[in-house]
Amino acid sequence: MSEITFNKQGQMVSRDTIDGDIATLNLGPTHPATHGIFQNVLKVDGERIIEAEQTVGYIHRAFEKLAERRPYNQITPITDRLNYCSSPINNIGWHLTVEKLAGIEVPKKVDYMRVIIMELARIADHLVCNSVIGVDTGALTGFTYVFQEREKIYELFEEVCGARLTTNISRVGGFERDSLRFSALNSINFCRILPAILMSLTNFLLEIEFSWIV
């Protein structure tokens, strides 16, 4: 990026702005409620962006300071908020940490359930994130379409723990309640229809892209 200086009013300007028509624009950081928490320092020539420098950044929620004053079992609800699109992964990651520190060995059934739940959470997260990319390009239909499928995953979470978004789904050593047989069957049924759902979303986004090109 070009050299940054300050004028007499204390405003940040670039050397390019002083010597020519190219200006430096600070775009962001974006609001924490939006997806894509990052900052762009742009070099623009009129309305044309000719160079960009990104700062990815992160959302700091004082998680570690909150955890200092809580017993291990009360930290789980905080982990929900680290990424609410796939909160079970954060829940279980914390419990695996506690179990490793305490030398706790869980039953094999718990391992299987955790893997299934974390994979479902990962799929739900990807459904949201990839469809939101379409929204950013003006394609809202695909977003609302895959949300119907995400609801099916949330229904499975609800069967296991009673919650949907911020799940608090696991416990140190296992789960609050035993899994239900129809939960496993619904998981299998969902995985069978998932490839067709993803293909439909992909085709929809590609059609939008090609329509713009044409």
Per-10-residue mean pLDDT, the chain, length 214: 59 55 76 60 85 71 82 90 88 95 93 92 90 78 85 90 89 82 79 89 75 50
The answer, as to whether pTM is greater than 0.75, is no
Tell me the C-alpha distance between 161 and 141, whole Å. 31
Residue type, position 155, single letter = E
Which residue intervals of the chain bear CATH 1.10.645.10?
A: 63-213
pLDDT at 211: 54
pLDDT at 154: 92
pLDDT at 83: 83
182-200 as b/e: b if 16+ CB within 10 A? ebeebbeebeeeeeebbee
Instruction: Say if domain 63-213 classifies as CATH 1.10.645.10.
Output: yes
pLDDT at 214: 45
pLDDT at 125: 92
Tell me the C-alpha distance between 26 and 48, whole Å. 15
Tell me the C-alpha distance between 91 and 75, whole Å. 9
Paired tokens of 167: 């799940």
State the virtual CA torsion across 199, 202, 208, 213 in degrees, nearest 10.
-120
Residue type, position 91, single letter = N
CA R_g for the chain: 23
Bridge-partner residues for 45, per DSSP? 48
